[in-house]
Structure 1
Amino acid sequence: MGFEQWMAAITTHGAMIAATSTADLGVPVPSCPEWTAADLICHVGAVHRWATARIVGDDSVRSYADFPAPPADELTDWYRAGLRGLVEALGTRDPDTAAPTFVGERTVGWWARRQAHELTVHRWDLESAIRPGTQQVVDAEFSADGIEEWLDVFAPRFLSRSGGVPQHLHRATLHLHTHDEPVGEWLVELSADGLTWSREHMKADVALRGSAFDLLLTLWHRRPLSAVDTVGDAGVAAELLDLIHVT
């Protein structure tokens, strides 16, 4: 999985979001409580602009909150403009070029990966709201990359924000296992120092098994734990996911 695949995902999923009908903008988004389709599109469009600012070195932008929502009748055009700007910024730079991020200095390629998975999840949110039951499934390889991005970026970040790993979860382990091809397996270990993970098969306190996409959606709280097979202490998985809750 690399830069070309991330760029393809940004283009594909971004186009799906941009095609949202004005008539659907007021539809509630069940997987993002208190959001409508318009709120979701505003969020993603603002995140695109924020990412673009980081990529091009525009230090005047502090966060995605710097981009207010446009009027409803201008929303999809505003979103398309933000998507075009992001694709241009990413496509005209070497993926290995250094770029600031919300987790320190990384690369342009890091932003491509982040925006690809941002769009994957929020495109699913939007389809679930507007056309429930018809959501596109993302392939196993791309979903596995999303799982690893969640483990790399969001799990440690939000564990730290929530005060770290609770003492009773020190030494707790979680095994993630996909059953589609290519098979992916990850061992997650918790300690006083936070969360570490490795690609390996090993018995853990709890194992979550399912398709790579179902596991990805479960980690992002888009589907309940019951959407995947759970073997062992489900309470460990539930508590860990409660500590890492991102919209």
Structure 2
Amino acid sequence: MTPRLDHEQLLQVLAIEAGVLAGVASDAPSRARVPHCPGLTLGETVRHLGALYRASLSWITTGRKPVEWQREPGPDQSLLEFYRIGLRDVMTELAAHDPADPCASWSKDKTYGFWIRRLAHETTVHRIDVQGAAGLPIAAVDDDVALDGADEVLTEWFVSKLRVLGIRNTQDAVLTVRCEGVDGGWMVRAPRGVDTAAWWMPDLDHARESVNGTVVGRNPQALYLWLWGRKSPWGDPQPDGRRDLTFTGMDAVGQLWALLRLATR
């Protein structure tokens, strides 16, 4: 079964993660640098989310890709107020509709559910950024949330976004992506050209594809953060001496990493 959360759960994730992020940002210096994201600061992360919430709301309510939206706090408006108002407005719109209701998006998924999922994970990843910038311990991401997020990165960003951007691969590669202790995983195909693909398989051992590389997370959060570029490309060492991700087929893994960085930038 594909590891997807229902939209009610994801709306709760969005609300909780957004609240944690705001609490951290209210007590931390805005110039603090975000780990693993050169040039990104805590304040810029908060501003980005405030603007993104508004751009997303424009997509939803106008039915087309936005051209203009508020990107900066207004006169006499604090950064956190800008963030909180944007969050409030988009959450009000999302909560007022059935997730299956149609609306515009950059994905093949043209529903309100797409935006609930998208903003839940965008906010979760940036909550991690803000905690890291503030020098705080990174609060854990629940396994089911992390697996849903891994699925979103691979089936939406790696597939849909790369096609929208028209980014072409340089060599053929097929990989498996999975977590220890989790039944199933993703087949990921990156052929020459733009026809990338990724899909969940309940039993990777019976995959008929010839695999050029593998990515294995010791836990769902490690995989989630790696896919979003919030880790070293080769994982991080753990107290027991092992890294939190292991790989085979470094050429294929390197191509996947590079394509993900282009897709999720």
Q: TM-score, normalised by structure 2?
A: 0.82
The 5 A counterparts of 1:204-243 are 204-210=211-217, 211-227=219-235, 228-243=244-259
The 5 A counterparts of 1:98-247 are 98-103=102-107, 106-132=110-136, 134-160=137-163, 161=165, 163-166=167-170, 169-170=171-172, 172-180=173-181, 182-192=182-192, 194-200=195-201, 201=204, 202=207, 204-210=211-217, 211-227=219-235, 228-245=244-261, 246-247=264-265
Three-state SS of the structure 2 residue aligned to 1:189 is strand
Q: Does the 8 Å contact 2:60/2:103 carry over to 1?
A: yes
Number of residues of Structure 1 aligned to a counterpart in Structure 2: 240
Q: Does the 8 Å contact 1:206/1:230 carry over to 2?
A: no
In 1: Cα distance, 2:77 partner to 2:96 partner: 31
How many angstroms does 1:34 deviate by? 1.1
The 5 A counterparts of 1:59-98 are 61-62=66-67, 66-70=69-73, 74-98=78-102
Q: Does the 8 Å contact 1:49/1:82 carry over to 2?
A: yes
Q: Does the 8 Å contact 1:209/1:215 carry over to 2?
A: yes
Alpha-carbon spacing, 1:105–1:151, altered in 2? closer, same or farther (3 Å): closer
1:47 aligned to which of 44, 48, 52: 52
Residue segments in structure 1 that go unaligned for 5+ positions in a row: none
Between 1:2-11 and 1:102-111, the stretch displaced more is 102-111
Alpha-carbon spacing, 1:100–1:73, altered in 2? closer, same or farther (3 Å): closer
In 1: Cα distance, 2:257 partner to 2:183 partner: 22
Three-state SS of the structure 1 residue aligned to 2:188 is strand
How many angstroms does 1:128 deviate by? 0.9
In 2: Cα distance, 1:60 partner to 1:89 partner: 17
Bigger fraction of residues in helix: 1
Between 1:42-51 and 1:154-163, the stretch displaced more is 154-163
Alpha-carbon spacing, 1:150–1:185, altered in 2? closer, same or farther (3 Å): same
Q: TM-score, normalised by structure 1?
A: 0.88
Alpha-carbon spacing, 1:83–1:197, altered in 2? closer, same or farther (3 Å): same
Q: Does the 8 Å contact 1:98/1:106 carry over to 2?
A: yes
Q: Does the 8 Å contact 1:38/1:72 carry over to 2?
A: no
Three-state SS of the structure 1 residue aligned to 2:71 is coil
Residue segments in structure 2 that go unaligned for 5+ positions in a row: 236-243
In 1: Cα distance, 2:174 partner to 2:112 partner: 33
In 2: Cα distance, 1:59 partner to 1:229 partner: 39
In 2: Cα distance, 1:105 partner to 1:189 partner: 20
